[in-house]
Chains A and B, each alone.
Chain A
Amino acid sequence: MEKIGFFVCHCGSNIKATVDPNVVLDGVRSIPGIVVAEQYPYMCAKTGQNMIADAIKTNGLTGIVIAACSPRMHEATFRKVAEAAGLNPYMVEIANIREHVSWIHKNKEEGSQKAVALAKAAIAKVKLNAPLFPEENSVIKRALVIGGGIAGIQAALDIAEAGYEVDLVESSPSIGGKMAQLDKTFPTLDCSACILTPKMVDAASHDKINIMTYSEVEKVEGFVGNFTVTVRKKARSVCMEKCTGCGDCWNKCPVKNIPLEFDLGLQNRKAIYIPFAQALPLVPVIDREHCIMMKSGKCGLCQTVCQPGAIEFDQEDELVTQKYGAVVTATGFETINLDKFGEYAYNDSKDVITSFEFERITHGAGPTGGELKRLSDGRKPKSVTFIQCVGSRDISGRGKPYCSKICCMYTAKHAVLIKDKYPDVNVNVFYIDMRTPGKAYDEFYRRGVEEYGVKYIKGQVGKVVDKGNCLTISAVDLLDNVKMELETDMVILATAIQPVPSAKPLASMLSASIDTNNFMTEAHAKLRPVESPTAGVFLAGAGQGPKDIPETVGQAGAAAAKVIGLLSKDVLLSNPCTAMVDINACNGCSLCAPVCPYGAISYGPATVNDHGLKTIERVSHINQALCQGCGACVVVCPSGAMDLQGFSNKQLLAEVDALC
């Protein structure tokens, strides 16, 4: 006969204000099997925990139900209490009377009755619980970092410094990410490359870090502590070991007019190229789509001039499979396409550019050698106009609903950079709201206004028209409520940012979730901001949400700390609430394997008992290490052979019966 203990928590006034604990206790006391029914203001506090432990020991309880907050909050706490008191932790059930009752109802009488109902359901379930025992899985002491921007570089360095092997996978030919493309950085205006390059070199020369550039993750299998990942190393056509980075090849290559991605197409590159002078590794790639040799079998100039003989036209993509204990995603961001914003004339005028393009124009290695020039006629502008929030905070369907967070600050930076070099240039910034929270950020923006004479106008621009020798801006100064028709020579759009397109397929490979905007989702917005809800997958950088460099680096360090914590364990306990097949009932129909998102189901012969007759049949088999207990197979099984341990059909039906 089961002996069930029942405990109701007040959660201070959180629960007690809407649920009368005495009503709940009276509602369950007479249920057969209940031998203890108690209440306490804070069940999770030490005294509350002791109360449960004592009750288990004194009464030899076979199961307990705690009516309290969500199991997401304290199920683990109470399971530990049970285990320490000698009760299998899976004999604990939680009735969520806080999130599901007191926080969402106002009427105390109804709230108390609903709490009783939920308590009864949990009691009905716990009576059918069986002790479960987790398995131990070993932890592979190696981490994978996906994305070689500042987030990925920092995370890789921190993990490697703790002594673990790290593979850093980057899809472009060099690590560095967007930070490598920036000129100066707010709020201190230090040169981006000067602070980034040493970190790139540290990562490249670290004996624990293995960098794979021009590479993409192709397949992910496994689970926390034991992921198996296949990476496609795209054919570079240049031997990494032989190449010295001398540049003879790209100097000789006759294909000249391919837009350089790194310069956002503002400069051209060859068919064999490095994206920028400090690229790491300093080994070129051949763009096979444009190489004459690849297209027609003629040319081979690069091969002729390459002294060490590093050019390998016949290289093929290489697939590398490796095991990892933890994965960090750091895939970063891109700016949105402006096709839907015709009123800003971005597609019509060379003198309307994005802020990201301006970074290249103001950069010494950029298309104008760092000189402020109109891209249409090379003239130095007398007036430059910035427009903020282009495509951000937009719910009309043309842009993104969120604030891109970095643009108020980088626009303040751009305005100051122009004023600093060219004090005679008129700089206007159209803004909706100024968002400058951050250490020394508002002071920086105010310096732009007060010391450099940058003019800020509240109001978003309605239209930009290219008149040939100048651009006209129609706007309204909302503070003075006057119409403005402004002539300017250059317009710079603070364009919204979004996650890279590869974030979505990557998230589904990792079974990690993404939000409606394709940013990686964290396990808890406040308390677990660098973990994905999928165990073993961690998040860093602008792929998780818009953020600047200091925040990115902080988050990357935090993700690395989580990885180190995980890799420092020798074994991980698995979740025993997995699917279980009754082979005597399974008819081998094969419906279950296709629905399993974790590839945990296979089929094979087993000796089954067919009404007393022993025969060998093809039946379903669950790999307990891979199964995550999602229950998809249970739903499709037509013969009732599949069930979920800890959440069996019987248990769930008993809950429903107890409710109505």
Chain B
Amino acid sequence: MLNPAFETKEILLNSRTIAEKCMKCGRCSAACPSYEQMDIRPHQFVSYLMRGDVDGLLSSTTLWKCLSCFACVQRCPRGVAPAQLIESVRLAAIRQKGGDGITVEDVVGELDDEMPQQLLVAAFRKYKG
């Protein structure tokens, strides 16, 4: 398990959004089509991260209920982009799963000239099991 403080920082950084800008207006939640399926709602999501409660987020259904439709991003008056925060935690969860993420050693043998670079980048976001 990573140090939670470090993890929060990394998640925020990867999301490219500034959670402090959130003014708790709730427009993200109001716009979200998955709101009712989520246990932690988009506007709460921002406050979980600001509190550093990453474990709470990692075990939430929200991660897998968010459709990445970006309605929340489009509506947020403060440019917070909750969907990007959610995506960032989702990626952290994927990376953590069993700690068996794909490594450089795994891909070296698979490389060929035809392979798009994007595929390589994406592969590092995946886990083996």
Q: How far is the CA of A288 from the CA of B35 in the complex (A)?
A: 55
The answer to whether A476 and B77 touch (CB under 8 A), given A458-B26, A460-B30, A462-B30, is no
B52 to chain A, nearest CB (A): 21
The answer to whether A343 and B26 touch (CB under 8 A), given A481-B41, A483-B36, is no
Q: Which of A56-64, A328-336, A394-402 makes up part of the contact surface?
A: A394-402
B29 to chain A, nearest CB (A): 4
**Residue contacts A-B, CB under 8 angstroms, 8 given:** A396-B76, A396-B77, A396-B79, A460-B30, A474-B31, A475-B26, A478-B26, A481-B41
Is B27 an interface residue, CB under 8 A from the partner? yes
Contacts of A40-90 to chain B: CB distance below 8 A: none
Q: From the candidates B21, B36, B43, B77, name the one contacting A478 in the complex (CB within 8 A).
A: B43
Check B35 against A398 for contact (C-beta < 8 Å).
no
Check B31 against A462 for contact (C-beta < 8 Å).
yes
A487 to chain B, nearest CB (A): 16
Check B29 against A459 for contact (C-beta < 8 Å).
yes
Q: How far is the CA of A182 from the CA of B99 in the complex (A)?
A: 65
Is A144 an interface residue, CB under 8 A from the partner? no
Is A528 an interface residue, CB under 8 A from the partner? no
B38 to chain A, nearest CB (A): 10
B7 to chain A, nearest CB (A): 25
Is A35 an interface residue, CB under 8 A from the partner? no
Check B77 against A395 for contact (C-beta < 8 Å).
yes
Q: From the candidates B23, B35, B71, name the one contacting A476 in the complex (CB within 8 A).
A: B35
Q: How far is the CA of A478 from the CA of B42 in the complex (A)?
A: 11
Q: How far is the CA of A125 from the CA of B44 in the complex (A)?
A: 59
Interface string of B16-53 (1 = CB under 8 A from A): 00000101111101111001100001011000000000
Q: Which residues of A contact B25 (CB under 8 A)?
A: 389, 393, 432, 459-460
Q: How far is the CA of A460 from the CA of B27 in the complex (A)?
A: 5
Residues of A at the B interface (CB closer than 8 Å) are 343, 389, 393-399, 432-433, 458-463, 474-476, 478, 481, 483
Q: How far is the CA of A75 from the CA of B71 in the complex (A)?
A: 55
Is B97 an interface residue, CB under 8 A from the partner? no
Q: How far is the CA of A458 from the CA of B24 in the complex (A)?
A: 9
Q: How far is the CA of A476 from the CA of B75 in the complex (A)?
A: 14
Residue of B whose beta carbon sits closest to that of A481: B41
Is B128 an interface residue, CB under 8 A from the partner? no
Q: From the candidates B30, B41, B77, name the one contacting A474 in the complex (CB within 8 A).
A: B30
Check A463 against B76 for contact (C-beta < 8 Å).
no
Check B30 against A476 for contact (C-beta < 8 Å).
yes
Apart from A478-B29, A481-B41, list 8 A-B contacts with CB within 8 A. A343-B31, A393-B25, A396-B78, A474-B30, A476-B30, A476-B35, A478-B26, A483-B36
Q: How far is the CA of A475 from the CA of B32 in the complex (A)?
A: 10
The answer to whether A478 and B24 touch (CB under 8 A), given A459-B29, A463-B30, A483-B35, is yes
3 tightest A-B contacts by CB? Answer: A462-B30, A462-B31, A394-B77
User: Number of contacting residues on B, CB 8 A?
Assistant: 21
Q: Which residues of A contact B23 (CB under 8 A)?
A: 393, 432-433
Check B21 against A476 for contact (C-beta < 8 Å).
no
Q: How far is the CA of A397 from the CA of B77 in the complex (A)?
A: 8
The answer to whether A460 and B36 touch (CB under 8 A), given A393-B77, A394-B78, A481-B41, is no
A296 to chain B, nearest CB (A): 49
Q: How far is the CA of A483 from the CA of B21 in the complex (A)?
A: 23
The answer to whether A475 and B30 touch (CB under 8 A), given A393-B23, A394-B77, A396-B78, is yes
Q: How far is the CA of A397 from the CA of B74 in the complex (A)?
A: 11
The answer to whether A461 and B30 touch (CB under 8 A), given A393-B23, A395-B21, A481-B41, is yes
Q: Which residues of B contact A433 (CB under 8 A)?
A: 23
A63 to chain B, nearest CB (A): 50
B61 to chain A, nearest CB (A): 15
Q: How far is the CA of A394 from the CA of B76 in the complex (A)?
A: 8
Check A463 against B21 for contact (C-beta < 8 Å).
no
Q: How far is the CA of A459 from the CA of B29 in the complex (A)?
A: 9
Q: How far is the CA of A398 from the CA of B27 in the complex (A)?
A: 14
Q: Which residues of A contact B41 (CB under 8 A)?
A: 476, 481
Check A463 against B77 for contact (C-beta < 8 Å).
no
Q: From the candidates A389, A432, A463, name the one contacting B31 in the complex (CB within 8 A).
A: A463
Q: How far is the CA of A343 from the CA of B27 in the complex (A)?
A: 11
Q: How far is the CA of A463 from the CA of B44 in the complex (A)?
A: 20
Q: How far is the CA of A389 from the CA of B79 in the complex (A)?
A: 16
Q: How far is the CA of A394 from the CA of B77 in the complex (A)?
A: 4
Q: Which residues of A contact B27 (CB under 8 A)?
A: 460-462
B77 to chain A, nearest CB (A): 4
Check A395 against B78 for contact (C-beta < 8 Å).
yes
B46 to chain A, nearest CB (A): 12
Q: Which residues of B contact A459 (CB under 8 A)?
A: 25-26, 29-30
Q: How far is the CA of A461 from the CA of B75 in the complex (A)?
A: 10
Q: How far is the CA of A38 from the CA of B129 in the complex (A)?
A: 78
Q: How far is the CA of A475 from the CA of B25 in the complex (A)?
A: 11
B78 to chain A, nearest CB (A): 6
Looking at B24, B29, B35, which has the most chain A CB atoms within 10 Å of its CB?
B29
Residue of A whose beta carbon sits closest to that of B71: A462
Check B75 against A395 for contact (C-beta < 8 Å).
no
Residue of A whose beta carbon sits closest to that of B26: A459
Q: Which residues of B contact A476 (CB under 8 A)?
A: 26, 29-30, 35, 41, 43
Q: Which residues of B contact A481 (CB under 8 A)?
A: 41, 44
Q: From the candidates B24, B75, B79, name the one contacting A432 in the complex (CB within 8 A).
A: B24
Q: How far is the CA of A215 from the CA of B118 in the complex (A)?
A: 63
Q: Which residues of B contact A396 (CB under 8 A)?
A: 76-79
A262 to chain B, nearest CB (A): 31
Q: How far is the CA of A463 from the CA of B31 in the complex (A)?
A: 7
Q: Which residues of A contact B44 (CB under 8 A)?
A: 481
Q: How far is the CA of A377 from the CA of B77 in the complex (A)?
A: 33
The answer to whether A395 and B79 touch (CB under 8 A), given A432-B25, A459-B25, is yes
Residue of A whose beta carbon sits closest to that of B44: A481
Q: Which residues of A contact B31 (CB under 8 A)?
A: 343, 462-463, 474
Q: How far is the CA of A483 from the CA of B32 in the complex (A)?
A: 10
B62 to chain A, nearest CB (A): 13
Looking at A389, A396, A460, A481, which has the most chain B CB atoms within 10 Å of its CB?
A460
Check B78 against A460 for contact (C-beta < 8 Å).
no
Q: How far is the CA of A403 from the CA of B124 in the complex (A)?
A: 44
Q: Which residues of B contact A393 (CB under 8 A)?
A: 23, 25, 77-78
